[in-house]
Amino acid sequence: MDLTGEPDGYDCHRDHGPYAGVADFLGRIAADRPRLVSRHQVELYAIAPRLDHAARPAAEEEPIRFHPARRTAYLAYGAAEFVAAWADTLRQPVTVRFDHVDSADETTVELLAALTRRIESPLLRLDLRDGGPDPSTPADPTPEALRTALGDSLARGFYHHAARTAQRGRGMVTPDGDLRHWWAFTTGLATALVALDRAAEALALYHETRAVTDDPKIAMSAAYATAMLYARHLPPAEQDPARARRWLERAVALAAGVDDSRQRTLSTVFYEQGLALLDSRAGETGRALRLVDDGLARLTAVLAPGERRQDLARLRHNRAQVHLALGDPAQALADLDTVIADDPDNCEYYVDRAALHRAADRIQAAIRDYDTAIRLGPHLPEAYYNRAVLQQERGRVARAQEDLERVLAIDPGHVDARIALVNLHLERGALDAAEAGARAGLELAPQEPALLCTLGLIRSERGGLVEADELLTRALARDPDLVEAWTNRAAVRFDRGDAAAAVADLDRAIALSAAPEPRYNRGTALMRLGRWDEAARDFTDALALPGVDRALRRDLRAELARCRRAMAG
């Protein structure tokens, strides 16, 4: 099989769009190994839609939410796994050349980086070249074609390309000459910028819009978008619920002037969900629930059966969140069941429902929902992580480890997964793996208290008491409420012969935690100091706490008896 591409290699120039070059490469593999495709269908269809013969243009799918920007990293991980599986079937060396890598779209760069990290087969070599033959640049598109491309990129979550497309479109039209297209490019650019954490630039675009037009429909949309920036997208210090509410009220007032009664209802209900969000955040959950219920009733009245199911699902999802805030998880679950029935391909809904199942101790149901979220996501790190936690709780250590390693392969900066995997190694007594994992995590997050604490515990287990003390002290400087660090440093100082310092650390741990272990440890340190009556009180208090396991209860009773003998003698 010849996979070296065209004579000049695979052209990755951004002028050819997201995943230029790499999509063609994946398509060649898919044609040669169709059985591999079934295991990576979601990511392959997202990267190379032509492989999905039943697909409609992404912009026609009317997604209930825009994809998060990080989704492309998850797609890249899945595609790299696909290529690695293909590489393992090679029987002779293959070199694949990619040109114009220095001018590639961000999606292409990300996927090539994932391939470079993942490919281990000695038979596959990736030849990544900057420059190359002159790219065949497409003819200048019409505003209509650019607008279609913009909608497609936004719907697929390719925000860098969407921003470039929108900027190109804004350069072709003016608000005076073609307001309709100018606004489409402007609001599309703002949407892309928000997804790329550039909300302040998006806000400036909406201010510009108000300066150049007073078109009521555009003003209405811009008011709502501005409200959402102040409510959730600007940096926390710049968010302003009161200002967000004023812009939402402006949007609702403008919606009241829409001539078409059906569109008037749809717009009003949609904007009022923003008010419900603000009410819920402000603790006015009853008012938020009334807004959502009223919105559902009004939508149902104007929609035909089966129409706009995703819009209805969005409102029911909002209502589920409000029910949770009201302390009614059963009603929240009922809403989520309906949401998933109406919009079964939205992975985030399964993650939300899994959390409810987990809280109710329906562990198998939670795992099933995480399984589905992973399949639809694809490769959501949080779903893998949460599933790992459940697997570990059920004693399925190997499965938990596999999921945690998968999280870190997708997102090496996932600190919680790193901590969980290190602790799993520690529980198994695999100190070398635990220490390596902790140090790798600290390279990415040098001041992470939990990793400093765990590495301190590992070093103390290996006799490095001075280093352990330093690490635990650093952890406490970052998080003075970290009980484990106080407890572990107390143990280190006790082992170093400073029982008084150990008692001082355990005083802090006990002030923060009602667990029996710190009291047991402090009692032990107090005995070293000959303070038998205080030690006896700690052992007695620990025995009175709930949840003391049998082994600890036995040790507490033995030490209490020892104290009493010392005090009697």
Domains of the chain: 10-128 (no CATH), 140-257 (1.25.40), 520-569 (no CATH)
Q: Which one, of 222, 209, 167, lies nearest residue 192 by Cα?
A: 167
Phi, psi of 464 (to 5 degrees): -90, 70
Q: Which one, of 202, 20, 237, lies nearest residue 111 by Cα?
A: 20
Q: List C-alpha distances in Å: 20 to 11, 23, 140, 155, 500.
A: 7, 6, 18, 18, 66
Cβ–Cβ under 8 Å, residues 489 and 472: yes
As a whole number of Å, the end-to-end CA separation of the chain is 88
Residue 220 and residue 188: Cα distance in Å, rounded? 16
Cβ–Cβ under 8 Å, residues 98 and 127: yes
* Residue 8: predicted pLDDT: 56
* Residue 54: predicted pLDDT: 74
Q: Which one, of 37, 201, 199, 46, lies nearest residue 110 by Cα?
A: 46
Angle (deg, nearest 10), helices 347-359 and 329-342: 150
* Residue 182: predicted pLDDT: 98
- Cα 231 to chain centroid distance, Å, stands at 20
* Residue 61: predicted pLDDT: 45
Q: Which one, of 439, 432, 436, lies nearest residue 461 by Cα?
A: 432
Q: Which one, of 47, 305, 276, 82, lies nearest residue 157 by Cα?
A: 47
The residue assigned the tokens 């065949």 is 136
* Residue 131: predicted pLDDT: 86
* Residue 63: predicted pLDDT: 46
Residues of the chain with pLDDT under 50: 1, 4-7, 60-64
Q: Which of helix, strand or coil describes residue 178?
A: coil
Residue 342 and residue 190: Cα distance in Å, rounded? 29
Phi, psi of 122 (to 5 degrees): -70, -10
Q: pLDDT (tens digit, 9 = 90+) per residue, 364-417? A: 999 999 999 998 888 999 999 999 999 999 999 999 999 999 999 999 889 999
The residue assigned the tokens 């990511």 is 43
Locate 48 and state its tokens: 């190379």
Q: pLDDT (tens digit, 9 = 90+) per residue, 539-561? A: 999 999 998 999 999 999 999 99
Locate 518 and state its tokens: 């710190």
* Residue 21: predicted pLDDT: 96
Beta-carbon count within 10 A of 90 CB: 14
Q: Mark out the alpha helices in 305-446 (DSSP H runs).
A: 309-325, 329-342, 347-359, 363-376, 381-393, 397-410, 415-427, 431-444
Locate 141 and state its tokens: 């598109």
